[in-house]
Amino acid sequence: MSKRGLPTGVQMRHDFHYVEELTRSNRPVGKIIPIDRIEPNPEQPRHEFGDLTELTQSIREKGVLEPLLVKPTGNGKYMIIAGERRWRASNLAGLEELPCIELDIDNEGVAEIALIENLQRKDLTIWEEADGLKALADKFGYTQDQIAKKISKSRSTVTELMTVAGLTGDVREKCRKLGISSKSGLLDVARQFDEAAMFEHLQKIERGEIKPVQLRKEDKSKSDNSNGSATPIKTKNTFSYASKDGDVKVSVSFADNSGYDKRRVLEALKQAFEDIRDGSVSV
């Protein structure tokens, strides 16, 4: 392997994926750049880079097969847009030069690519993923449909993660203390009617009065299996409301046959309110 970071005989390559759409009007330039002329992005949204041991060893053996994305900053220097983990591991591996794709984009484009690259990682926590999506919406005004397309996730997944992102710091801390870290568990909390209801729900879990949603699902699964092929009892699953003057009518229908209670109706109305507020559905 050469000190350039590419195995001998291997040409520099790059899969454009998310970058292609963001840089359609710019012509990216591939080049080999001395590693001491490459600098990290001070606005990098990722702060933890994990254990670099395996990546460093891989780079020693095979080189850097996917170029870094960089932007010229003047004085012969380049700022990393995407690929800081590879840059750090390459430094540890003793490389002198790295394959790069130079992009001529503004600061907003840099921030957007950095966020999207981070959101495509496999090791994100639920909080990192949720907050990353919220940052895309807040900084660039993207709708949930646009975000779903940019990060190649379903619209329903984006909606759920944005709901989790809406949890306040106090509620998050309580969830952490109770060990609630799954998406389903956090959604169960987030879909309570308001913050007071969220804390009441969490206090019930803490006191053992109710189980976290995952345990409730497991209990239901066991119950369903024990009942064999017994026919479920169909209960009323449509809630209707009309204001006293008759000007407002609201109907909430549940797809399953388990019926509804006050909590389920409030959760459904709250989700509908948030979707309309965030512009993810048209009215």
Backbone phi, psi, residue 164, to 5°: -65, -40
Q: Length of the chain in residues, anyone?
A: 283
Give the separation between CA 279 and CA 274, rounded to whole angstroms: 8
Residue type, 21: E
Q: Are strands 249-253 and 97-102 parallel, antiparallel or unpaired?
A: unpaired
SS3 98: strand
Bridge partners for 249 per DSSP: 242
What letter does residue 96 receive in the DSSP assignment? Answer: S
Structure tokens belonging to residue 103: 């992009």
SS3 79: strand
Alpha helical stretches, state H, 63-143 = 84-93, 107-119, 126-140
Per the residue annotation, which of 84, 102, 129, 267 is the catalytic one?
A: 84
Degrees to nearest 5, angle at CA 116 with 143 and 76: 130
Instruction: Assess whether 84 carries a catalytic annotation.
Output: yes
> Which residues form the catalytic set?
84
